[in-house]
Structure 1
Amino acid sequence: MTSRWIKALPLSLALAVLAAVVVHVVTPDQARGQHSPPSSRSAGQPETDSGKALAHQQDRQQAPQRTEVTVITAETAAHAAHISAYGEASAHFELTLSAEVSGRVDSLAENFEGGLRIGKGELLATLEDSGYQEALAIAQSTLASAEVSLLEEQRQGEQSRIEWRSSGLSGEPDSPLVLRAPQLAAAQAAVDEAKASLAAARQDLDQTRITAPFDALITERHITPGSFVQSGTEIATLVSTDRIEITVSLSAAEWAQLPDSATLAAGDWPVTLTDIENGEQWTGQVIRAHQHLDTTSRQRSLVIAVQAPFDQSPALLPGTFLEASLRGRTLNGLWQLPSTALGQSGELWYVTEDDTLASISTEAVFSDGASIYVRPPEVIADQPTRVVVQPLSSYVPGMRVTTVEAHQDV
């Protein structure tokens, strides 16, 4: 019927209708292709770029996600132990200087002021000494009289012995008084007493001149010109300037990392001292080790010295709170790791050969601030191990991870 209808049309219109019909005719395969999924294609047809991207996205969504961790390859090696402890700087000597005699303060030295340094034997103050001058003169006179009496007694004793021999009597006299032996002893005792009194009087006079007993720093002066002091009155507070000492307490484990006490006390074991407040540093040496345990801390102490502390730049002052860092013995078989590698619970996380996480419990043998040094378990100590630089609390053993090697400065 269609053909009859087309024949009835004019020729030009019939040709147009036939062309339209031909354009809209599709094959059965083409019809099925219109309803196929976008990713499906006939065998042998090349895959388009958009199809490849879609397939790759689907694969990534189906694959399990791996956590990325930063690791450092740890290998056992020998490292010198590093010990840190804390202590307060104190002067070698600290003295409250007191008056030995009584008297009025006659004068003070110009440099007898708090904060100034003085040398050993340097004059600090003088007391009024007229009474002590008089006492010295009396003691000298007494000694002179006693010495004259002794000489006279010696002469009389010689005369008595001559008379006894010339008397024709044999043997010894019945009484020692005959030869004046007791009188001579009394005269000699009087001379000895007078000498002692003279020495005491001279010492009292010398004590009116108050001098420094050692090279010192004056921390406080307690007297003024015109004031009266009694024997025992405080004159000044002094601290020695020869050296500063720092006493630090160490645990038994820390002592085990140090050489023997004789080596430490030889005087050439260096120690770095750092001011806790401002970071200033000085170099000291170990001078002795205590041979007993503190009854409170149950620890032994190490004494460190800094020679001529006030001549240092800057000066190391008594009372400064310091961190002492010293090198110990060389220990074998240790890992050197960043300080962040040790978790709060004392565990280290590392990556196994099949890229899964595992952990071990350990503690640092020692540390030097930026690094910690641990002794690894024997099962992994002989092989390089990838240790996690900064573990997270969400880690669980067996988790599959992707590793990134840390830089050398981590």
Structure 2
Amino acid sequence: MSKRILWFLAALVLLATVGTYVSFLEDTSDVNDGAAEAALPIVSYVYAQPSDNVGYISVFAEVRPRWKADLKARVSGTLLSVSPKALEGRQVTEGLVMAQLDQRIYEAQLDNARYQRASAEFNLKKKQNKHLLAVKNWNALHPGKQPPEMAVHIPELRVAEKALQAEVARVEVAQYDLDSTSIKAPFSGFVTKRHLSVGQSISAGDTLFTLLDAEQLDITVSLDQKQWDLLEKEWQDKPARIFNEAKELIGLAQIQQGGGFLDPVSRRYQLFLEVLNTPEMTVLPGEFVTVQLQSTVIKDSLKLPASSLTQEGYIWFLDQRDELQRFEASIVSRNDTQITVKMPEVLRNQEELRFVHLPMAAFLPGQHVTPTPAGH
């Protein structure tokens, strides 16, 4: 019996020890869970103060060449040569002879026109001499009297003068036809298409080249009423900035005209810009770009990071108790990095303006958080 009692007492002691250890673990777990529940989410913020800000209006547009021409033959003839500088994809300068037609027919026509002009000049001199001789004879026979035109051959003289004028014009036309056998670039640009081959018979009106201007580029942008009202009206001193698809600055443009009418289809304002030729310009004709126009001064506004705006259009801020609050943003202008919004009435009486840098979808108004400056 004594051994059984001893074993029983030992079992009781072991049971009490295990129970005490389990109770200790439960107390520790409760403390840890309570501490985890008490930990507040960390929220990064940025400071901002209302001020008069200058924003930007960003619109998409296409860069277009000012000149695009299908060069057509004005005269007919056999194509003798094409300049190696006028092949497809090559850049040509204004006045470059791109192709040459056979000139012999037009040289003969020019020589004939010059001959006819010389004959008309000779005939005019004969009529002038005849007129002077008739005037002398008339004055000798009828001193002090005005001679009739027929008596002194004035009509013949006028006909000879008109004939000479016609022959002079004919020489100019023949010279123009001869010059037209040399197909010259009317402006500097790129040859995008060649429609002819050496030895080909060309007729007047045939398309020879398609030429695209690469030096004078234009952009037309479309603005709605709100954007038009925000646009800086001092255009001359505020060139627009041009960005490519990679958001890289590739050039500047000067506003030339705009606002005189609404597009009949979109009912939006049209703004016409000329791309400035600068050494840093890399704008290409046909390129789709983002045009950034400077707005007027936006009074009493906030400039915030673009990341502070939620998909629903809200901006979260921290009040004096480090609790989350939000307001619906009235965006005045925006770009990829910043937004400019009107100062909301809910923040008028708040001394320190702290705006959430990266808002989360799980945020709730009145939620208590641990604020930390953005970047820390």
Q: TM-score, normalised by structure 1?
A: 0.75
Counterpart amino acid of residue 188 in structure 1:
E
- Identical columns (%): 25
Q: 1:307 to 1:187 in 2, by over 3 A?
A: same
What letter corresponds to residue 401 of structure 1 in structure 2?
H
C-alpha contact (below 8 Å) 1:76/1:381 kept by paired residues: no
Are residue 227 (structure 1) and residue 207 (structure 2) matched? Answer: no
**Deviation readout 1:330-373 (Å, 9 max, x if unpaired):** 43322222323323332333333344444322222112312222
Query: What is residue 53 of structure 2 aligned with on the other side?
Result: 79
Q: Deviations over 1:112-141 (max 9, x none)?
A: 201111221111111111111111111111
Partner of 2:309: 342
What code does the residue aligned with 1:283 have? G
1:209 Cα deviation after fit: 1.1
Question: Within the alignment, does 1:178 sit opposite 2:151 as a pair?
Answer: yes
Q: 1:400 to 1:199 in 2, by over 3 A?
A: closer
Question: Cα deviation per residue 1:24-49 (whole Å; 9 max; x = unaligned)?
Answer: xxxxxxxxxxxxxx9xxxxxxxxxxx
Query: Number of residues paired by the alignment?
Result: 350
- Mapping of 1:275-294 within 5 angstroms? 275-276=244-245, 278-290=246-258, 291-294=260-263
Query: Contact 1:250–1:302 (CA<8 Å) still a contact in 2?
Result: no
| Amino acid aligned to 1:275 | N
Report whether the alignment pairs 1:305 with 2:278. Answer: no
The letter for the 1-side match of 2:103 is: D
Give the Å deviation of 1:185.
0.4
Secondary structure, counterpart of 1:343 in structure 2: coil
CA 1:287–1:66 in structure 2 vs 1: closer, same or farther (change >3 Å)? Answer: closer
* Partner of residue 257, structure 1: 230
**Is 1:377 the counterpart of 2:344 in the alignment?**
yes
C-alpha displacement at 1:78, in angstroms?
3.4
| SS, match of residue 111 in structure 1 | helix
Aligned to 1:121: 95
CA–CA distance in structure 1, aligned partners of residues 175 and 47 of structure 2: 79
TM-aligned CA distance change 1:304 to 1:251, over 3 Å? farther
Q: What does residue 332 of structure 1 align with?
A: 299
| Maintained 8 Å contact 2:54/2:296 | yes
What is the one-letter code of the residue matched to 1:181?
A: I
1:183-228 deviations in Å (ceiling 9; x for gaps): 1100100100110111101110111111111222211111111111
Deviation at 1:66, TM superposition (A): 6.4
- Please give the root-mean-square deviation of Cα atoms over the aligned residues, in Å: 3.1
Q: Cα distance 1:73–1:221, how it changes in 2: closer, same or farther (>3 A)? A: same
Q: Quick check: which has more Rg, 1 or 2?
A: 1
Report if aligned partners of 1:249, 1:302 keep a CA contact under 8 Å in 2: no
Aligned to 2:121: 147
Q: How does 1:4-403 map to 2 (within 5 A)?
A: 57=31, 60=34, 69-168=43-142, 171-173=145-147, 175-260=148-233, 263-264=234-235, 266=236, 269-276=238-245, 278-290=246-258, 291-297=260-266, 298-307=268-277, 315-381=282-348, 383-393=351-361, 395-397=363-365, 399-403=366-370
Give the CA deviation at 1:170. 5.9
- Asked if 2 retains the 8 angstrom alpha-carbon contact of 1:68 and 1:401, the reply is no
CA separation of 1:169 and 1:306: change in aligned 2, threshold 3 A: closer
Name the aligned partner's letter for residue 94 of structure 2.
K
CA distance in 1, matches of 2:32, 2:77: 104
**1:19 paired residue number:** none
Supply the distance in 2 between the matched residues of 1:324 and 1:211 (Cα, whole angstroms): 35
1:13 is aligned to none
Tell me which amino acid in the other structure corresponds to 2:127.
Answer: E
Shift, 1:89, TM fit: 1.7
Range with bigger deviation, 78-87 or 138-147 = 78-87
Contact 2:102 2:181 in 1 (8 A): yes
Cα distance, 1:102 vs structure 2:
0.8
Report SS of the residue matched to 2:316: strand
Deviation of the 1:159 alpha carbon = 1.2
Q: Deviations over 1:53-101 (max 9, x none)?
A: 77x949959x999666444343223332122111112222211111111
1:295-354 Cα distance to aligned partner (Å, 9 max, x none): 22212224140427xx768x5322111122344344332222232332333233333334
Distance 1:204 1:379, change over 3 A: same
Q: TM-score with structure 2 length normalisation?
A: 0.82
Of 347-356 and 89-98, the range deviating more from structure 2: 347-356
